[in-house]
């Protein structure tokens, strides 16, 4: 079994699937009226074990998939 975890500093846009172990250090909801006034966005700042940070956004349709993990 491969337990390899990718560090935040190694993430690039050329690959779509990453396995990361991060801590959510900041979390907030935002509505973007330019896209759709009814659509919520969930923004997060994530930090890995080396203290590297990255910002992530989850669109409304997927928020429920992650809600239990974020509580």
User: Is residue 25 one of the residues assigned to a domain?
Assistant: yes
Q: pTM of the entire structure?
A: 0.78
Q: Which residues of 3-42 are buried (b: 16+ CB within 10 A; e: fewer)?
A: eeeeebeeeeeeeeeeeeebeeeeeeeeeeeeeeeeeeeb
How many domains would you assign to the chain? 1
User: Is residue 33 one of the residues assigned to a domain?
Assistant: yes
Given this model, what pLDDT does residue 56 score?
93
User: Is residue 1 one of the residues assigned to a domain?
Assistant: no
Give CA–CA dist 51/24, Å, rounded.
12
User: Considering only CA atoms, which of 40, 45, 47 is closest in space to residue 55?
Assistant: 45
The percent of residues above 90 in pLDDT, for the chain, comes to 48
Give tens-digit pLDDT for 10-37: 999 999 899 999 999 999 988 877 767 6
The residue segments making up the domain with residue 17 are 8-70
User: Is residue 24 one of the residues assigned to a domain?
Assistant: yes
User: Is residue 22 one of the residues assigned to a domain?
Assistant: yes
Integer CA distances (angstroms), 41 to 28, 31, 60, in order: 8, 6, 6
């Amino acid at each position: 079994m491969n337990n390899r975890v990718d560090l935040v500093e190694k993430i690039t846009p050329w690959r779509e699937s990453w396995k990361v172990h991060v801590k959510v250090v900041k979390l907030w909801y935002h509505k973007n009226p330019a896209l759709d006034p009814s659509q919520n966005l969930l923004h997060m700042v994530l930090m890995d074990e080396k203290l590297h940070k990255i910002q992530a956004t989850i669109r409304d349709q997927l928020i429920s998939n992650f809600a239990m993990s974020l509580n």
